[in-house]
Amino acid sequence: MGAYLILYVINPDLTKINVSFTPVEVVNTLGFGEGGGNCSVPTTGPCTVEALQKTCFGSNAKAAAMVCGYESGGNVGSPSKSDKGADGNVFSWGLFQINLTQHKLGGFDCQKAFEGENYASKVINPALYANCKTAATTAMTNINYACKISNNGINWGPWKNTKKACGL
């Protein structure tokens, strides 16, 4: 209080605080997706356009390949680089980065491996978590489930960041 009084006596303008902010434009870059890829279409492996045309993606195979490329770089065993629960365990895995806290996969009720969802999740059933991780990192299981939740490649909403980054 004494410092304020001294400054006010010397010059009242010294006690006024003017804060101004300059808006900054945030630019999204294509960089790397959740599992380490980018929007380019993989040229080898299960996420090529040719391979995905033979699945339920059919005529939507190019978009599916871009999503797969962005999400995992076409790496079937890819863990998410950002989707980690409160306990540090990765909860999104594989070609299309399937979220295990949200989905049943490969005949396993993966949600029951966790307490909580997404970033607040904690693994409470390590054996079930291991089974779900194995299912998510099996190429055809991951691809077939991505077909299911994308409505055969018509709705990329569940991958909203990838959809935006890749212009789908």
Strands (E), the chain: 92-93, 98-99, 114-115, 122-123
pLDDT tens-digit map of 50-91:
999 999 999 999 999 999 999 999 999 999 988 999 999 999
pLDDT tens-digit map of 90-110:
999 999 999 999 999 999 999
Contacts (Cβ under 8 Å, ≥6 apart) of 136: 93, 94, 98, 100, 105, 106, 142
Ranges of each domain in the chain: 30-159
What is the reported pTM? 0.77
> Are the C-beta atoms of 69 and 30 separated by less than 8 Å?
no
> Are the C-beta atoms of 46 and 144 separated by less than 8 Å?
no
